[in-house]
Structure 1
Amino acid sequence: MRLSKIKLAGFKSFVDPTTIPFPSNRVCVVGPNGCGKSNVIDAVRWVMGESSAKNLRGGAMTDVIFNGSGGRKPVEQATVELWFEEVTIPPYQENGELAIKRLLTRDGDSQYFINNERCRRKDITDLFLGTGLGPRSYAIVEQGMISRFIEAKPDELRVFLEEAAGISKYKERRKETEQRMAQTRDNLDRLNDLREELSKQIDKLKRQAREAERFQELKQSETLLKAQLDAIRWHELNMAVQDMQQQIDEKAIVLQEDLLTLQALQETHQAQRVARLDAQTHLETIQAQFYTIDSEVKRLEQTLEHGKERYEQLQWDLEQLDDSVNETQNQWQTDKDQAETLSSDIAETEAYLEELQETEIQTESALQDAEADAQTWQTTWEEFTQRANEPTQRAQIERTRLHSMEQRVEHNRQRLDRLDTEHQQIDVQSLELALQALETEMADVQTEWQEAEALLAAHQETVLQLREETQQLSAELHEKSALVHQLSGRLASLEALQEAALGKNNADLDAWLHVQGLDNVPHLSQALNVDAGWEQAVEMVLDKQLNALCINKLDEHATALQKPPQGQFMLVTADKFTANVNDSHPTWTPLLDKITTTLSLDSFLSSIWAANDLNTALAMRPHLSANESIITPQSVWLGTNWLHCRQGKDEKTGMIGREQEINRIASQLEALDQAVLVLNQTVEQKRIHLREMEGQRDHIQQRVNQVRQRFSELQSQQGGKQARLEAVCTQLQRVEREKSELTNQINQDESDIAETRHNLHIALAEMEQLADERDRLSTQKAHAQEVTLQSRQAWQTAREARHQVEMTLGTQRTNFARLQQAIERLQERLNQLQEQRHDLQKNLEKQIDPTETLHGELAAYQEKQAESAETLRQAKQTVEHLEHAMTDYEEQRRVLETRSSELRTILEQLRIDSQAKAVRKQTLDEKFALSDFSPIALVGELPEYADETSWVAQIEAVERKLERIGAVNMAALAEYEQEAQRKQYMDEQWTDLTSALEQLDNAIRTIDRETRSRFKQTVESVNATLQVTFPKLFGGGEARLELTSDDLLKAGVAIMARPPGKRNSTIHLLSGGEKALTALSMVFAIFELNPAPFCMLDEVDAPLDDTNVGRYSELIKAMSERVQIIFISHNKIAMEVANQLMGVTMQEAGVSRLVSVDINEAVDMVGV
């Protein structure tokens, strides 16, 4: 992630909207003093959440808004927006861009935005936690921050390392976790107090709740029984309605079947009429054929008879043939006359038939008109029935509704009376007065509690402070005692080694020295103080002389020396002798110069010189005289022609250093013993004072507990009374609400009753009006039935007359046709006779007998005559059957019409009764709809023997039980349930809080473990990097970080710096330039560990000389390969390493503007 640009508007001197781009990793902002360069740094700090005006070089936060200039008016708001690219912070890594903005108005309203979406300041600070960015991070180094960085306390310096380690977010989370834990513990204390009080209160409410629960159970039982009673009635009505509906459906089906049957009969009758006409026509045709065949049979019989006679007496027949011809002619004339007469009769019959057919058509039309009128009346009657049923049903509904509403009004009035009684019994004022008195007492007790708590807190703080001081002193005493023990052991060990080295284990020598009073004189090794590093060289040269005893005068022991003890020993005096000064080598350093002592060692060391190393000694060796020698700190001793080297260790080695260490440890032990004595006295005094303060604290704690207990009791009483008051107020509100609802319901019901009565009156009036119309329609019905009957009788009479005339006409036509045929046959007969005569003559001539031919023809015609007779008989039977069927139709039609009328009357009554019961059922449905009961479910739960009478008895029994219970405090049940739920909720809260505390403890342990690990790694890594960056900036030297304690969670951090050639122990002894370089080394070391997206440096090179500025510039150049560097500088050397120069000018007084220069492009232009 890198900073791509900054947008400013109205921020300090940048009044106009200004965009500052950062195209590369090395950008330098330059400009004269006071032009507003540092405002760029302030803008970045401000937009990242800086809340201190002091750190923004202002007195108030609104000072960052442009306040006007000589030619400009003040603006109302300031805006700064940072744009980042190559973003890797989730969840913005997908777009790769991030914009954070801050807007401040003069009324103090500060707004933050992330990608133009409103957010909190904490969201922005959390976004950059662990990245090295922030309002006070190590990534932004401004003017004066270097000195603050170096002079920061260890705890303040630790903050920068925490940010570098990425544990600032852990620290913030730990702080929040500790705050939540403190709040959780407070909540636990309050919860325990409330739980105890609630338990007591719940026990009291439980007894009252049992009575209320019993009352409630009876009321629920009463409600259930009443609902079941309504369900029984509903079920009975439902079954009755269903039965009636079933009857209605059955009757309607029967009526429909009758109407369909009647319609089918009418259709069958019409078909029968057509079939009868066809059958009559067919009968007439068959009858005519029969007559024709019969005439032919008779003719053939006569012909056969005559033929036989003629055959037998052919001669006589021939003679008689002429007579037959004459006779036939006479018969033909007779038949012709009869045919003419019959034709006249047929014409008259046809005219009369036409009259009868016209009469039949008229009567049939009249019958159809009468039937149409009857059907019209039926339709009118049905419509009237429907119209008449509507007011009847409406009247029944209104009666049922009126009865139900009157009962509801009566019930509501009784309920209103009970609510009035309950309202009068509620006493809110006394509860409020008692609650006020209790709250006053609670306020007094709370004040006393707070005072006692404050006093307890003060004593507790004192106790904690004393305890901490005692613990610190005890720890210090323990440390010093441990150090004394450690040093004592070390001293004893060193002294034992020293004694062994000095040969103090020789008993004879020790006894002799004791006799001579020399057992406590020091050895030579104890009387020397050798410069550091030269101890081994001096020990090598002096060797056994180090065991010499230092005495005042040698002559004082001359007698004793006559009999010396067994073993070797040496004595050295403190006598001063005039030594020959060796000035042959004035530039050389004698070994004596490395030793400080009161003794004279010239006899041992006057001709021995000191050289710092072997090469120097070798260079000096050619200039040595025969008695001279040279020694180095590395224990290399050489003369003119010899060299002695000792690198190993023996018991003699280190005697001088050991003696010096023994002296140092002895001094330390003396000082420590005195410090331990003082600490013991101080610790004892602190413990006495601590016990006194703890006693006072315990006494105050008892008082606090008593006051807390009293406050808890009062709080419990107040909670109970408050709950009682709330319950009473709730009850009062409920009563008033129910009274208002009941009053409104009664008023509404009375209004509905009046409206229902009005509707009932209208329905009854309509029923009276419809009664006259019913009578009129009944009269019309009788008239229509009579007209229909007369028309039907006239039509039947006309139809029968027409039928008789048709039959007569048919007979006449048949006879006429028969005569016509007879005439034709006679004519044919005449012709035949002529032919027969001719044939007879031929037959006579041929003598042929024709009787066989006539017999065959006669047999054929007789067979046809029998078939025609059978067909005629069947046709007559068909006509008779159709006439009987039409007579049956009339009877069936009359029966069906009568039954249909009766069914309509029954259906009307069933519908009226069904509507009445349906209205009553609908009333019960409405009642169930207002309740929580389902009639179907209730009926399903009822036993088979359930009936209305037994359920009424059960309801009365429950009501008597309720009366015996008497007045019940129903609020107790609600209070008990409420308090029980509250207790359960508090128990769950207690469990949750306990679990939360455990989780928070685990979280803190996890955070501490992670913090220790990361902080330790960071310190070690920064230390390692500091060993590299510090020498780069100083050209040598060393620097390191030291922790102030072993506790990695609280340890502060101190910087120890040692520039080249100096031995300063702390950074506070450095010069201003050295401090700046050290701070930069620290910043760059942190960047090497956890590089922030960018680094901003504000004139940090001001205290540096050109040489150090060059090093500083080179380091910036190297770091810019990995980190984006934005720095402000007046130094030309620093400007040279920048890729881009951003110039800030103030040509207009008080207004900053930007001028940018690309160094590479400028170089190219100059080169051109």
Structure 2
Amino acid sequence: MYLKSLTLKGFKSFADRSLLSFDPGLNVVVGPNGSGKSNVSDAILWVLGEQSAKQLRGQAMEDVIFSGSSVRPAVGVAEVTLVLDNSAHELPVDFDEVAVTRRMYRSGESEYLINSSPSRLMDIQDILHDSGLGKDTHSIISQGKLDSVLNSRPEDLRPLVEEAAGISKHRRRKERSTRKLKAMEESVRRARDLDREMRRRLRPLERQVDKAQRYADLESERQRLETLLAVDDLRRLQAEWQALGSQRAEAEAAVELARYRSEEKAKNLEKLQSLLEQKGLFVGDLGEQRRRVQDQLGRLRSDMGLLEEKGRNMVARLSDTRMNLSSLDRRHDAAFATLAEAQQDLQEAKGRHQLLSGELESLAPAAKKAAQDLADLGSQAAQLAADQRIAQRASDEAVLARARLQEQVANAKAEDDLFAQRMDAISETLEASEAELTSLRASLIEHTRAIEEARDDVSAAEKHQASSSRALSEARAAQDKTQGALREAQASLKALKSVATPVAATSRMARIQEDAALKALAAHTVASELHLCPSLEKAAEGYLAAGLQDIVASTPQDAQALISCALAAAKASGDVTVQVAPTDGGDAPKAPACMPASGAAPFLEEMASQGLKAGRLEGRLFSAVAVVEDARRVLESHLAEPRWSYVSRDGAVVAGTDGRVRVGLPAGTDRGALERNRRIHELEDSLPQLEEAQKEASAAVAAARQATDEARRATEAAKSQLSSFIGEESSLRREVARLEQSQQRSQAELKAVSERRAKAAEKTADATPRIAELDSQVKVAEAQLDQLASQIAEAEERRRDLAAAEAEARANANERSLELATMDERIRHLSVTVDSMGRELESLERQRVAAVESTRSLEVLRLRIDPLHERYEAIHERVLQWAERLRDTASLAEADSDSLKRTINDAKAESAAAAKELEEATSALNALLVEAGKLEVQVQTAVEAVRAAGSMPIEEALELPAPEDRSADEAALARTKSAIEHLGPVNQVAMEEYRELKERADYIAAQLADLESAKGALDKITSAIDRKMRRAFLETFATVNGFFEEIFSMLFPGGTAHLELTDPDHPDQTGIEIVAQPKGKRIPKLALMSGGEKSLTALALLFAVYRTRTVPFYVFDEVEAALDDSNLGKLLGAIEVLKESTQLIVISHQRRTMEQADVLYGVSMQADGVSRVVSQRLDQRTGKVVDV
């Protein structure tokens, strides 16, 4: 992987789009100071995610956007695209090229893209970090960074080694995880607090739940008792209601009788009152007349009082009017005196005003003439100044035009020289490219022929690889089949052996198996020692039954040891059977002298017919045993010949010589034991064959795999050769096309340069006579300027004299004008005063006339009121006399009606007695109604009490039986209410709150347990990562230290250097110190080194890190600036070695560095302040330098 290209647009001084294509090897960027070449390293650092403006040599991040120049406007966006060749797929993405783009807008917004897809900075860092690239790595050495490497603290050098070890990414992830763990700890702490808080709240809630439950029980009992008592009260009230109904009927009858009597008495009273009213009409008329007379007397008294009050008011007003008239006379006299004084002052002011007006008129002509002369002279001076400016402008234009033409001529001559040089260079380039093009075309023909041959080789290799792959597949299939058979046999053998392993069926057998020596003897059972054919296995199992588990002892001593062990288990249960194997010297058991019954075959003969030889054990066990095919004929055979033992072939029925016949196998019989043992022996015999077949199959697979690998390598080699040829052909074609295009561009440029040279020559020829003409124009303009300057000086002198005379005349006129204005203001003020006093005298005169008229009117009114008052008094006396006569007449009429009134009073008494009787009867009825109402309320209250109790509906409550002991129930109700009151406040929703809080508390507890478990797991993972990082760091430190010593000794022959850990006991936090001693020097501190020594030491450390872990490319920005020629040679030697393993991009001023470059880029800046690049590449085949 390497840096393929870098595209800059709007970044710093690269306002236009600039493309830099790089090749593997050494790429050098050169240019004069200030041309912007270091912006290339800044662009790489920026696109990799650098966020610090200081690291990019700026004050703010917006400084990376081109800010404009004197002739170029600023741009709004900076964009850098870095393209990495990922054909080896070292980056974890499925692309052959990875393009990383960063854009930043002047508004502050920015974005990142990977292959034109938006992404995050974190994604870019994760993708690139494993390759060693990034803003925090040391693959980019900017200006001044070498000094920072040596001047760093020991703790700051540690990231260098961590970067080489490849653990920086893991450390950052660990730091993020640590922060997350801290946040998790905070969450755990809060969860614990919450859990404790909820547990604390649960305890009182539990008490509240118990209290609520007790309250519910008491409340239920209260409701039951209240319902019972309320229903009893309701029944009692029903009886009282029925008794009250009869009393109410009697009261209603008494009220009706009393009402009749009262109405009769009332009618008699009405008749008497009607008669009295008829006699009282006359008395009423007299009373009405007396009332009207009294009203007239009241109105007369009121009118007389009003006249008296008006008279008093009129006298007071007359007195006030006379006093006001005296005051108006005094004010009129004072105003008249003030008016006379103001009129006199006004006459004096008018006289002074006329005098000043005459003086001002005499001064005005002189001031006007002086101002006119000054204005005429100002116009003349202005005209001269305008002529001077016109002349000066014409002179400046002529001088500027002459200077431009002279500069144009000089530039044209310089361009002509440049054009000539460029035409020569283009001609040489055309000749060289033509020769190279001829050579490339010949090479292209050869490569085309080689490609055809390589394709044939690839086709043949692919066919051979296909056949090898088929053979490998067949070999693997055979191997899989053999492996399957072997695994199946091994598994079956293991399973059968596990089943066949004897298990202690009795405590005596368990005692024997506890002895290690006897356990091996106990493994030899009858079942394991018998070797029978499959057709006889079931018959043998049926005959022997539990005897299959008898232990077979090879010697009598072994038998005795087994019997002794079984006897030693005094308290053990069960039995153990031991058989002593027959010896070779003993007599074999003999079969009965007679043959078995018809249809039965001797067991041993059956073995012989199957090709099996009976051993001594088989002979002893089956010498007198015969096999019957049909289990139902076993008894017949035994009865026919009882000296033989008979067994059915399936082992289901056995008949012994003792006359007993057994059907089925006894409990504890090991079914299939003989078959298992046979299968075990067969599998043990077949395993070696299967293992041998497995080895042969594995060898065949290995051989086929080797052949396939060889075929694949041959195919890959052929394809690689073909790809190489195709790539070279493609490169040749591109190179031919590029050279042809270059030739076309060169020819076009040669033509364009020739045309531009001709135009420049024409401009030079046209400009020469024009320059002479402009010289004469400049001289004429300068003479005219001198003449105008003298005229302007004379006019200025005259203007100063006229200005002084005009100022003096204007001052005299202004003084008179000021005095005249003062007199005008005084005359205006006095005129206003005279007018005001005149209006005031008129107003006082009008007020005096009005006061005199008012006095006269009041006197007239006073004379009219007195006669009117006397007339009112006479009328009042006559009305009093009429009232006395009316009173006497009324007294006589009232005496005649007294007897009738006494009769009416008796009737009223009788009517009142009847009404009282009615009232008493009604009161009695009302009392009964009130009692009924009270009873109804009590009934309603009792019904509401039943409903309020809420234990049951009213219909069901009425069906309840009467209480047996009401007083006891009332006492119980009182105790229940008292108990409820003593409970105090009860939380009715405590149960629901408790349930919800309990669920939440359980949930929090579960979450807390999960958090603590996760935290524990993360702590374990972190510890494991720390151990791996510590081991990787120490191993990498040792490697970097070794390379550092080697490179330092190469750069400083005879010198020594090494790295030291500041705290070896704590590798996780230790820093790193550099100890370096050039030959013949003792330098206690690195700061005492010279600039060149510091640079070489820092580069030695960086190269040691680079050799430990190579990254795709490195960028060095003027790292050799402080080196002399000798040290530069050492550095270039190290660079030459380093470029074999990685790509180098060096920004330099050194000529030797340029000479060693594979690709050379030149950066220049024109007058518009924009950086531009031009490049050349060294062709490794031809050794020539070509333009890129």
TM over 0.5: no
Provide the TM-score with structure 2 as the length reference.
0.34
